[in-house]
Amino acid sequence: MTKDKQIFLSKIPSVDELLQNPITKRWEENYPHILILDAIRSILERSRKAILRDNDLKEDSVTLSQDAILSEVETELINLSKLNLHSLINATGIIIHTNLGRSLLSDAAIKNIQDVAESYTNLEFDVGEGRRGKRHSHVEEVLCRLTGGEAATVVNNNAAAVMLILNTLALGKEVIVSRGELIEIGGSFRIPDVMERSGAMLREVGTTNKTHLKDYRDAINSDTAALLKVHTSNYRILGFAEEVSLEDLVELGREKGIPVIQDLGSGCLVDLRRYGIDGESTVQESLRLGVDIVTFSGDKLLGGPQGGIIIGKKSYLDKIRENPLARAVRIDKMTLAGLEVTLREYFDEKKAIKNIPTLRMLCQTLEEIEERARRIVEGLRETINEKRLDIQIKDGISLSGGGALPLGNLPTKVIAIIPKEIKVTEFEKGLRENNPPIIVRIKDEEILLDPRTILEKDIEIIIEAVRRIVKR
């Protein structure tokens, strides 16, 4: 090490000196000591590294005064104090975006979660009888009334639901699944892996593109515990493909006395065909066709909080609830509070579509979307010089996400922006670094904002952010 460097290093103030500084003392009133200490250490370490790295050191290339260092410490402190999980604006048009937290909750659901969080509740207490009650009872009746199922329960998420069902009904036994349905969905949920961990043995039948009823029939033996049908969620095989209908599978199960389980993935309670959206059958249809157990997510098309909903024959549900694993994957009270209110919205389908954000976004008309696009564009044009931005409204496609309707494209109107003075990627980064961050799609060198997932309260924030980015 050169002499210079040693001199510079020796000039760095110590942690203790900085802690004694009146500025730091004032921070102690607003910030936790542990964060102040970590912020100081990290800035000092940065200065030390800068000195060691730089071979052409000048007095002004390193900040060594207490004031200069503390100014950097403050920036770091503000950063460390920010919440890690925070809200953001989803302008991607992907409604059930798993990375962005899937479904937004209805106002009523949010209110109920707050009520339940700040009070004691009858979570596991039967108030009428004055004795212990059951956690799942709060949604079981509602679920059965809505779907026509015999019994129902809820667990932490759908992956847990599938795992729990297989572990309960097929431990050490075989479960028959079509090769065309051995899927992997985002976040590494793979049917074969889940099955292995559940203790059930996978018996694959058919081929990737075609599976016949005979394939299932031939695979059934004295070790067969269930027939499993899985929603292929995020993919479809087109062309020369064939799968066994639910009716036929149910009939085979009946004939052989083997339960038929269906992992519906998204699990929709509303017939979306009535709103011009094709491609997703309902939970009610599966149960009506005689499937013994269906399972689906709470936060996909249902539009509620994260959860795994299991509905089906009472004899199976009783066994599932008694499995010790059920305790390990049980649902918490806040989720239950949000879920019950979300489910009750479905008693009146119109209200469900109006109040549950996921359904509302899905069923929005093109006119409504275009109207919102116009307002955003007008807001942008009012304050931003045309020379800085090229803005247009174009036809586009929204996605439901969450593995639902993989090909059921939703026509939309997107706002396409081409910045003229900065790069598209730089513009996108500016949006992402906004507070709150704005997440968009880039396609063909254009920034696309899809009003379908943009909330009313987001509009002004987006306009303001764009204005700030182009004016820099």
Ligand X SMILES: *Cc1c(COP(=O)(O)O)cnc(C)c1O
Specify the stretch interacting with ligand X by CB under 6 A; choose among 109-117, 156-164, 418-426, 448-456. 156-164
Query: Which residues pair with residue 395 across a beta bridge?
Result: 413
Confirm if 298 and 306 have CB atoms less than 8 A apart.
yes
Among 24, 106, 297, 358, binds ligand X (CB under 6 A): 297
| Contact map string, positions 211 to 240, toward ligand X, x by CB under 6 A | -------------------xx-x-------
Residues 6+ apart with CB under 8 A from 71: none
Q: How many residues bind ligand X (CB under 6 A)?
A: 13
Minimum CB distance to ligand X, residue 123 (Å): 22
In angstroms, give the least distance from the CB of 447 to ligand X.
Answer: 29
Pairing assessment for the beta strands 446-449 and 441-443 based on DSSP bridges: antiparallel
Closest distance to ligand X from the beta carbon of 186 (Å): 8
In the complex, residue closest to ligand X by CB: 265
305 binds ligand X (CB under 6 A): no
Q: What is the DSSP letter of 178?
A: E
Nearer to ligand X, 47 or 158 (CB): 158
Q: Are 216 and 252 in contact (CB under 8 A)?
A: yes
Interface of this chain with ligand X, residues 381 to 440, rule: CB under 6 A = 403
Residue 89 or 331 with smaller CB distance to ligand X: 331
3-state helix vs strand vs coil in the chain, percent to 5: 50, 20, 35
* 3 state SS of 228: strand
Residue 157 binding ligand X, by CB under 6 A: yes
- The least CB distance from residue 236 to ligand X, in Å, is 13
Least gap, CB of 157 to ligand X (angstroms): 3
Amino acid (one-letter) located at 68: A
The least CB distance from residue 322 to ligand X, in Å, is: 22
Q: What is the C-alpha to C-alpha distance for residues 85 and 88, in angstroms, rounded to an integer? A: 10
Stretch that binds ligand X, among 127-135, 151-159, 275-283, 354-362 (CB under 6 A): 151-159
Binding residue for ligand X (CB under 6 A) from 158, 167, 211, 286? 158
Q: How far is CA 349 from the centre of its chain?
A: 24
Residue from 259, 308, 396, 419 that binds ligand X (CB under 6 A)? 308
- Binding of residue 358 to ligand X (CB under 6 A): no
Cβ atoms of 229 and 263 within 8 Å: the answer is yes
Is residue 189 part of the contact set for ligand X (CB under 6 A)? yes
Query: Which CB sits closer to ligand X, 11 or 236?
Result: 236
Query: Interacting stretch for ligand X, rule CB under 6 A, among 43-51, 66-74, 77-85, 152-160?
Result: 152-160
* Pairwise CA distance, residues 238 & 224, whole Å: 30
- Both tokens of residue 300? 């996909």
Hey, is 321 helix, strand or coil? helix
Distances (CA, A) of 397 to 93, 98, 189: 8, 18, 27
* Closer residue to ligand X (CB): 233 or 434: 233
Least Å distance, CB 307 to ligand X, is 7
159 binds ligand X (CB under 6 A): yes
| Interior/surface letters 128-167, b for 16+ CB within 10 angstroms, e for the rest | eeeeebebbebbbebbbebbebebbbbbbbbbbbbbbbbb
Tell me which stretch binds ligand X (CB under 6 A): 113-121, 135-143, 155-163, 199-207.
155-163
Whole-angstrom Cα distance, residue 463 to residue 82? 24
- Which is nearest to 303 in space by CA: 262, 269, 350, 337? 269
Positions that interact with ligand X (CB under 6 A): 157-159, 185, 189, 230-231, 233, 263, 265, 297, 308, 403
